[in-house]
Structure 1
Amino acid sequence: MELEELSANPLHRIKWKPPKTTETVDPRIVVNPRQAQELLTAVTYIGRRGRGRRLTALFACMYYAALRPAEAIALRKGDCDLPEMGWGRLLIDVSRPEVNTQWTDTGDAHEERGLKHRGRDDVRPVPIPPTLVTILRDHIAEFGLGPNGRLFQSERGGVVASTAYTEVWQEARKLAFTPAQVASPLAKRPYDLRHAAVSLWLNAGVPAPEVAERAGHSVDVLLRVYAKCIDGHQEIANRRIDDALAA
């Protein structure tokens, strides 16, 4: 069309329209803190030769720091401030999404990229609670570091594949949950830990701009995506309507 080699855009003749998708997070997938802790504990019992223990800290980063899986996989020791006491901090500047090898420049399944929805050189600081600081310090002490100081690596020193941590996660759900919960959408995917983290922060009263900064969202997207996961707002609205009707 830009070269004026077509007289009209042929796509305008197509009657099909893409189906509407749901942008909001389903509150049924969100685990509470007790359930999250039970899942992390269950992970440590999965597999031989410490397979689950090797991935526990990876899942913990998704829950306690709301990292995307690709961001957690790319985490390096130099990105972490892990004091002996108190809160620490992660500096997130790269991710390693897993894609088809034909779409990467290197031919590898993981390619280092910038943060989602941000410039290539942007950095996102994420404060982390003492619980996660301890988990990461223990992980480094037990499993060491991978190439370039990466915190998480496979048993052979490679990048952790999504199939590997997903298999462990599914087994951990069976161990931590009741049969009814296993059949439900509750924490169906490891990514749902990130949703649980953001929902927890919002329900704890952390201001939306601060939550958005830590999670790597815009405030508009944050409130739209997590609108259904914020507890208590319906009750507040009901009280206000009751007051208005009684006035």
Structure 2
Amino acid sequence: MKWPNASAKHRAGIAEALVVVMTALVTTRKGRPKPAILRLALRSWAFQMVKDDEGQWAVRKDVVDPPDDISAALGWVAAHSLKVRDLAQSDNLRPALEALSLKLNGRRAADNTINRKLTVLSNALRYAVERDLLTTNPLSRIDWHPPQTDDEVDFRYVPGPNLARELLAAVNAQGPRGEHLHAFFGCLYYAAMLPSEGADLRKGDCRLPEKGWGELVLAGSRPEVGAGWTDDGKPYEQRGLKRRARRSTRSVPIPPALVALLRAHIATYGAAPDGRLFTAVRGGRIRSTEYTEMWQEARRSALTAPDVGTPLAKVPYSLRHAGISLLIKAGVDPVEVARRAGHSPAVLWRFYAKLLRGQQQQANDLIDVALGE
């Protein structure tokens, strides 16, 4: 029901959650396949869809014959899974709640992960109600609550302007590929872009004057996901901006530092035939594995030895946090910060509340001036 209109990442996320709960919703462990085989069978065959000969979406296992071990695992779980109506009994549903609370190693999962998987389970049970397989969503009657989440960014580990520049320089120092991706990382910081937006940035999106501020008009993104989850079988998905209407754009003013980076990049490398500025070595989409490895090398070069082992600037996404934090600390109106970052004001407050509250004195000073006048 969800698959046709869901993004590739959302499809994969739904499957991941269903795999976790499905392995718990069985009547016995006798004859259970090896856990890795069972998870693979569920994720890549039972919960993945492909186009059939008539061009209609169908469950993969119903279109393509799985290998023998996968087929045996699917047969076992089909024979021993609970009936949907059995989930009305709390004793049958609680093991699924316990399963989605844990990692594969048995340790507690992150709060956001638990809540995300719980949402998928709840949606599945609501759909069972819609299909008259259950009378009510049984989760509402179970005395079990997901953990409270704290979405605020931990600013102890967000790089400040000086460290951000040192990290960008450390990327640039990594030979030809570092030089090619220098401006890519610059976009994450100076324009607070998502990595998937940087991967789709095109020459035509850029307004780069010789002097002063420029502008990026962002129209799309290329989130990376496995080929089995996309409509066309590619390992990435061409999409519009995150949480925006399909054809919407977002204008982001960019400071002279980024204008210079992008002008130099275009002068040296030009653009791909489709206009993209940043590509893999052989042309396609730059892969997260490549730029993440480059980022880790930059951390080892720019950070002190003790800091390398901390979450300080741990992932490339840290540059986006740093860029948004810089705008807030500079006193930019929060609504404008949210617009540039592609957030709603509510989301901005949820993640950056500590910083925004810290700007109250500056706001009070402005009001004092206005009252004095």
State TM-score, norm by structure 2. Answer: 0.60
How much has 1:147 moved relative to structure 2?
A: 3.2
How much has 1:51 moved relative to structure 2?
A: 1.3
How much has 1:183 moved relative to structure 2?
A: 1.5
Q: Which residue of 2 aligns with 1:110?
A: 236
Name which of 315, 318, 325 aligns with 1:199.
325
Summarize the Cα distance change of 1:176–1:93 in structure 2 as closer, same or farther, 3 Å threshold.
same
Name which of 40, 54, 69 aligns with 2:168.
40
Summarize the Cα distance change of 1:109–1:18 in structure 2 as closer, same or farther, 3 Å threshold.
farther
Cα distance between partner residues in 1 of 2:166 and 2:355: 21
User: Which AA in structure 2 matches 1:189?
Assistant: V
Cα distance between partner residues in 2 of 1:206 and 1:114: 26
- Deviations, residues 184-220 of structure 1 (Å, cap 9, x unaligned): 2111010010000111100100011111110111112
Cα distance between partner residues in 1 of 2:357 and 2:296: 27
How much has 1:29 moved relative to structure 2?
A: 2.0
3-state SS of the aligned residue for 1:109?
A: coil
Cα distance between partner residues in 2 of 1:229 and 1:100: 36
Q: Which residue of 2 aligns with 1:86?
A: 212
Q: Which residue of 2 aligns with 1:221?
A: 347
Cα distance between partner residues in 2 of 1:206 and 1:7: 51
Q: Decide which moves more: 101-110 or 196-205.
A: 101-110
How much has 1:15 moved relative to structure 2?
A: 5.1
3-state SS of the aligned residue for 1:149?
A: coil
Alignment: residue pair count? 235
Q: Which residue of 2 aligns with 1:67?
A: 193
Cα distance between partner residues in 1 of 2:229 and 2:138: 28
Matched, 1:131 2:252: no
- 1:154-193 alignment, distance < 5 Å: 154-193=280-319
Q: Decide which moves more: 25-34 or 164-173.
A: 25-34
Cα distance between partner residues in 2 of 1:203 and 1:64: 14
Name which of 129, 145, 159 aligns with 1:31.
159
- Deviations, residues 150-199 of structure 1 (Å, cap 9, x unaligned): 00001111100000000000000000111122122111010010000111
Summarize the Cα distance change of 1:111–1:29 in structure 2 as closer, same or farther, 3 Å threshold.
same
Q: Verify the 8 A CA contact 1:203 1:231 in the aligned structure 2.
A: no
3-state SS of the aligned residue for 1:205?
A: coil
State TM-score, norm by structure 1. Answer: 0.89
Cα distance between partner residues in 2 of 1:94 and 1:177: 33
User: Which AA in structure 2 matches 1:111?
Assistant: E
Larger relative contact order (C-alpha < 8 A, sep ≥ 6)? Answer: 1
Per residue, is there more helix in 1 or in 2? 2
Summarize the Cα distance change of 1:16–1:163 in structure 2 as closer, same or farther, 3 Å threshold.
farther
- Deviations, residues 16-44 of structure 1 (Å, cap 9, x unaligned): 54333321111022111111111111111
3-state SS of the aligned residue for 1:89?
A: strand
Q: Verify the 8 A CA contact 1:66 1:194 in the aligned structure 2.
A: yes
Cα distance between partner residues in 1 of 2:331 and 2:138: 51
Unaligned runs of 5+ in 2: 1-128, 363-373
Cα distance between partner residues in 1 of 2:131 and 2:311: 49
How much has 1:7 moved relative to structure 2?
A: 3.5
How much has 1:229 moved relative to structure 2?
A: 3.6
Q: Which residue of 1 aligns with 2:338?
A: 212
Matched, 1:140 2:296: no
Unaligned runs of 5+ in 1: 237-247
Cα distance between partner residues in 2 of 1:45 and 1:67: 22
How much has 1:85 moved relative to structure 2?
A: 1.0
Could you say which structure has the larger radius of gyration?
Answer: 2
How much has 1:228 moved relative to structure 2?
A: 2.4
Cα distance between partner residues in 2 of 1:229 and 1:183: 25
How much has 1:234 moved relative to structure 2?
A: 8.5
How much has 1:72 moved relative to structure 2?
A: 0.7
Q: Verify the 8 A CA contact 1:42 1:172 in the aligned structure 2.
A: yes
How much has 1:13 moved relative to structure 2?
A: 5.8
Compute the RMSD of aligned alpha carbons: 2.0
